[in-house]
Structure 1
Amino acid sequence: MFTRLHRIKQTLLLALLSLTSPTLFADPEVLVFYNQYCGHCQEFMSHTGNNYATDAPQYLGNRHPVLRKFDLSMPENMTTYRTMLSKGKIKTRINAVPAFIVTNNQQTEVARSIGAMSKDEFYAFVRQSLGQQNTG
């Protein structure tokens, strides 16, 4: 009886934790920061960023991270960026675009790349970043 009650308490505690901390068990993400007026950003978005949903399974498998795109020329995205920075999701400021950040299950930065990348280079960066995350 005691053991069963103890298990129920543990289950309730885990359920409460997952409700109060939605990022506790979150999936890794790829954050793309760009500017709509940047030529390299436009090229990335047209060849890779806007095709991620269809291309990612081929390059990364079915359990690929979510891609979140932020056009920093938009005030609401700058606000989101500043919030991510102040809460530690992003380790340091972004000084150039395009910027690519991979986060782990705890929603903190594990890898970053700044500057233009081809589609193959982008997916290699994400693959390598996810591998580092799983071993580190």
Structure 2
Amino acid sequence: MGKILAIDYGEKRIGLAVTDDMKMIAFGLTTVATTEIFEYLTDYISKEKVETIVVGEPKQMDNTASESEEHIAPFLITLAEKFPAIPIKRHDERFTSKMAFQTMLDSGLKKKQRKNKALIDEISATIILQSYLSIA
């Protein structure tokens, strides 16, 4: 049995989350510089069995693609080329950054900790993955 890996793509950083082996709970994994993501994923996937990759799909309120989709498209092509045996799914990521920030507030993180954009990206990936699990 493999895990599901979620990706919250950003031009500077990519937030990652992963499920437990039973694919019931999403956990924040880390945040990686976008320029280093394929090196990180190659290493991670060589050590852990990943059966699906879920990539956040940014959409506008009217359900059309967000402007950031133009940056994600080339990433998706490379991702599919590097890991052809792993299916790639897309999942709506609207409001995940706001939800991540609210999660930080609710958990009592100090103001300095809430400014940590890498943590927001990791929490966003976790929210994307947990949402995906709820409908999968």
Q: Report the TM-score, using the length of structure 1 for normalisation.
A: 0.28
Task: Say which structure, 1 or 2, has more relative contact order (CA 8 Å, 6+ apart).
Answer: 2
More strand by share: 2
Between Structure 1 and Structure 2, whose CA radius of gyration is higher? 1
Q: Report the TM-score, using the length of structure 2 for normalisation.
A: 0.28
More helix by share: 1
